[in-house]
Amino acid sequence: MCDHFPMKESAPANDVNLDALRAEVLQWITDDPDKSSRDELYRLLDALPDSAEELGERFAGRLKFGTAGLRGPLRAGPNGMNLAVVRAAAAGLANWLDAKGAEGPVVIGYDARHGSRDFAAETARVVTGSGRRALVMPGPLPTPVTAYAVTKLDGAAAVQVTASHNPPQDNGYKVYLGRELGGDLGAGAQIVPPADTEIEAAIEALGPLSEIPLGDEGETLDESVLEEYLTAVASVVDPDDPKRLASVATPMHGVGGRTLVKAMERAGFPAPILVPEQADPDADFPTVAFPNPEEPGAIDLLKALAAEEGADVALALDPDADRCSVAVPVGDGTWRQLTGNEVGVLLADHWMRKGRKGTYATTIVSTTQLKAMCAKRGFKYDETLTGFKWLARAGADLAFAFEEALGYCVAPEFLRDKDGVSASLVVAEIAAGQAARMATLQDRLDELAEEFGVYETGQLSIRVDDLSEIDACMKRLRAHRPTSLLDEPVSDYLDRLPDADVVTITTANARVVCRPSGTEPKLKAYLEVREDVGGDLQGARERARASIEALRAEVAALLGVPH
């Protein structure tokens, strides 16, 4: 996961003052507009003291509005996603738009998760109550459709109710800016500082929720907004390129299936065969332990279907369809899931060969192969901090952007955000071109390795119970700077403090980037090694994999954690 959401630390149950907690809960209940939430809290009050730990967690603080909006578990109380928290967020956003003098409507989209439609309707009531038009999507649709619509409809801002690839018990609230406030670089992109802190301040300044004026549920858009999006994404594919392709796909119980099928057909490809168990939206995500294509086992049904159908390529969208994963056949009926870096390199290579001019951008934790490709082929290169909110703003001439966490922007001319649907179309275009010459996407990756070397990437992820452990690891890394990695001298040690809590260590053929996760109680180290092929591609890959394992152990020792 790549978006940044604030984490909360809850107080231990034995530290909770039960009388104070009870008073705080009752005060919240008096202002909570949702009867089901009030009843939920009353049941927990009745269960005291046994429920003290859970109530303490729910009232440890309010979900903070960050650069990616809100995300949290569906539950009553200030530290959860519920109608009260959504009403406050919508009112804060509306007041902030008023303070900025933005005049356009607010576009409101939502996915098929538990509560999403109700949260979208509540947002619309707050927006219309503030005297502003609310334009509501015609049904549960992918996040990229909302990001596209905010500029297409001249919106001041857009809200997408979604928890993306989080577990079923979560929901969230993403905010995008239109051109008026976002400018050319931020139109259709998620907010960046200081907008997040300003909206958070507007939320904190609110009085009782009962005093927030409410209007109607806004104007429901017709299907034309989806049709215009489909026309736009289909236009990224060259009509003269090969279109014969056998593909399978999964929306992973999310909202992208119908949109992906329509987009593929509109671009001239045969419709992909969808994994039947995962084709329709299902808020419980019954066939996956965690609805994230990056998770082990998440695309097992997709790979099985691909082998059964003899497909050329397999595509997996995450539940809100702003990210995609790709799997390829590797012989004997087996399939391999490509990394986000590999897909990003394939897409960049495709656009370069097509002659698309402009800046090619990625993040500081993604592969450095893109930088090497740009240098050799004469394309502009840029890298940003993690998060598509930064990649979207990498330059007015942005040609393509990607992050290793399965996010790709293939058409910044109409959508400056990651989009799994349009990325899937370009992957299909590359795969069809390879199939026409009796080759695969893996074959193209092999050709790129012959040209640029093998770039092997990996991660060391350290989950902690106490967030101070992450600080201790980062302090240890800063206090004891390594002079070598994998027996190569360190050529660059970059500490991005105070702008970002990130340390990058580089040698001639290796790189390590260490940073705390913005979404989970984890410390992440992103690892990369490069090996020259020297006429032996398989040998180079084996050496690279061995080097990654050695680097993982070395970095674990530097951080003072078990390997």
Catalytic residue annotation = 164
Q: 228, 192 in Cβ contact below 8 A?
A: no
* Alpha-carbon distance values, 222 to 138, 149, 431 (Å): 6, 12, 34
Question: Residue 23, exposed/middle/buried by CB under 10 A (0-12, 13-18, 19+)?
Answer: exposed
Q: Dihedrals φ, ψ of 31, to 5°?
A: -115, 0
Q: Judge contact between 110 and 117, C-beta under 8 A.
A: yes
- Continuous H helices in 138-206: 143-152, 179-186, 195-204
Of the candidates 422, 406, 430, the one whose C-alpha atom is nearest the C-alpha of residue 188 is: 422
Phi-psi region of 402 (alpha: psi -120 to 50; beta: other; left: phi over 0): beta
Residue whose entry in the numeric block shows the structure tokens 């005291």: 48
CA torsion angle for 532, 538, 541, 542 (degrees, to 10)?
Answer: -120
Candidates 159, 155, 109, 160; CA nearest to 132 is 155
Type of residue found at 433 = G
Preceding omega of 6 cis (within 30 degrees of 0):
no
